[in-house]
Structure 1
Amino acid sequence: MSENCLQLSGELINSPKLTKSPAGIVHCKFKMKHESRQTEANLIRQCFCIMPIVVAGEMATQVSNQIEKGNKIKVSGFLASHKNQSGNGELVLHAQYIEKII
């Protein structure tokens, strides 16, 4: 199987930060807070997560100029594991599409 697609909406909890990889690729990084109510086994449950997001390439600069902390967005892309600052693996959403929700 090779399916890997996620769509998630939420609120930016930090300002987008531009970085450049050793290969010279521009990345825009930020975190998004998702909260919702979902039905599971015929019961309503509260869902909450904080999802790290990365946008690469030409889209990274555009996104960093269009969104800011507190904005509500819808993101779709694929998941990949990255090592965080403490060396632990975490899932990161690599955004291929971002829509600002007004």
Structure 2
Amino acid sequence: MTTNHLALSGRVLRSRAFDSPAGIHHTVLQLEHKSLRVEADMQRHVYCVIQVILSGPRFDSVTEKLKAGVDIQVSGFIALQQNRNGQSRLVLHAENVELKN
């Protein structure tokens, strides 16, 4: 069995929604993460921006609240996504999203 699970908190930078040709509703977020971690007994500032994809009706109740500036915690699995230019990047496919106050 292989493991593929990522949990990350951060702030939504932007979001957009669309329906796929198959009729599945998707919301795509840019999530900005900032934290302070300890690595090799030293404090390290961590920063990343990752694309998060929410697919299907299970997220309908939360997607309209996911605007720029909203803090969330998201968990799911990561996958490689290739754009039209052939460039690849890791994206997080959400399985759970929680709004943070």
> Per the alignment, in what secondary structure is the counterpart of residue 9 of structure 1?
strand
1:97 is aligned to 96
> Per the alignment, in what secondary structure is the counterpart of residue 59 of structure 1?
helix
Residue 10 (1) aligns with residue 34 (2): no
Amino acid paired to 1:88 = Q
Superposed displacement of residue 84, structure 1: 3.0
Residues 16-55 of structure 1: pairs in structure 2 closer than 5 A: 16-55=15-54
1:65 is aligned to 64
Structure 1 unpaired stretches of 5+? none
Alpha-carbon deviations, 1:22-60, whole Å to 9, x = none? Answer: 222111111010001111111111100001000000034
Task: Give the stretch that moved more between structures: 80-89 or 26-35.
Answer: 80-89
Alpha-carbon deviations, 1:42-92, whole Å to 9, x = none? Answer: 111110000100000003432321221100100000001111354211111
Q: How many residues align?
A: 101
Sequence identity percentage: 35
> Per the alignment, in what secondary structure is the counterpart of residue 13 of structure 1?
strand
Regions of 4+ moved over 6 Å:
none
Give the direction of change, closer, same or farther, for the CA distance of 1:85–1:101 in structure 2 (3 Å limit): farther
TM-score normalised by length of structure 1: 0.91
Amino acid paired to 1:36 = S
Cα distance in 2 between the residues matched to 1:62 and 1:89: 30
